[in-house]
Amino acid sequence: MAPVSLAIHAPGADLTPAVNSIRYLRDCLSDEIVKQFVTFHIFFSHKHIPSKIPDPDVLLQTPYNCSGKPPYENVNSTYMKEKNLLYPVNVARNVARDAAITHYILPSDIELYPSPNLIPRFLNMIARNAKPLSTSTKPRVFPISIFEVDAKYQVPSSKTELRAMLANKTAIPFHKFVCPNCHNIPQGQQWMNAAETNQMDVFHVGKRRGKFVHWEPIFIGTHQDPYYDERLSWDGKKDKMTQGYILCVKDYDFMILNNAFLIHKPGIKHYVKNAKRDSIAGRQSAVVKSIIMPELKKLFGTRNGCAL
């Protein structure tokens, strides 16, 4: 168990159902795990301020009526879709991160499920401080291998189960059929071939360069790591690339964990041409090239082998 800092984009009329969903999760479930471990952080653009914003203290003191169905079920339309808004994923990541009060943080998307016991095993590894942790002198983060599983199958509960699913093709590396270079990790095949061990350790120390120059890792880090660029939307794709460039220029060590993994919400993803999103991605790519990249070079400099 570990605390969760959850950022929710709820512009305009989406605020009320979002708040009601939070209240249902806090007040109406059979246990109090959400109330004990999850903090919710709602945000919206100044251009789409809700018509009425309730007082959170009053809401928390008012029990929710649990007799109806969960308000988050069977939602067919949202204000965000009606207004054709982009999803500001990097704002969400930064909001959730800023609100987290732990030293170590795992900025992750809600549809990525961490392997069981990741947190106690990780903290045990930190406490043991064995090599290469004890000899490292560079800034570091701890990337986690990511996979997809067939929609008909349960999420694996251990690396041993995951390896069996990889062998029978019911699990695959994340975005294998969408953007394989974005999530290929250094020593990735060796990681998949390596048997599960009884404790967490650093499997390999990699860099974001060479064939991994476009790697978009999801990792355990700290509040000292670079923020995500809030000008980039999910719709525009490659929203973590600018952060990855900064990590590369700062010569971060990417300490890949041996037994930790993330599983995307079940369902194998395939590339589907989307002219609308491709157009948004084209505009975002142009902004990165003409505006953001020159800024990054001025702020952080360059390093041989580092690129967006």
Closest CA to 119 of 266, 260, 273: 260
What are the pLDDT digits (tens) for 158-187?
Answer: 999 999 999 999 999 999 999 888 888 999
Average pLDDT, the chain: 96
pLDDT at 183: 86
pLDDT at 60: 86
- Measure the CA–CA gap between 184 and 205, rounded to whole angstroms: 14
> 12: Cβ–Cβ under 8 A, 6 or more apart, which residues?
44, 48, 49, 50, 51, 79, 80, 83
What are the pLDDT digits (tens) for 245-255?
Answer: 999 999 999 99
| Helices and strands (H and E) in the chain: how many | 12, 11
pLDDT at 288: 97
| Strand locations in the chain (E) | 4-9, 38-43, 104-105, 112-114, 140-143, 145-149, 171-173, 202-206, 219-222, 253-257, 261-264
SS3 173: strand
Q: What is the secondary structure of 96-164 as a DSSP string?
A: HHHH--SSEE----TTEEEPTTHHHHHHHHHHHT-TTTTT--S-EEEE-EEEEE-TTSPPPSSHHHHHH
Q: Count the Cβ atoms, other than its own, within 10 Å of residue 225.
A: 20
- Measure the CA–CA gap between 53 and 252, rounded to whole angstroms: 42
Question: Which residues of the chain are under the pLDDT cut of 70?
Answer: none
What's the token pair of residue 80? 């965000």
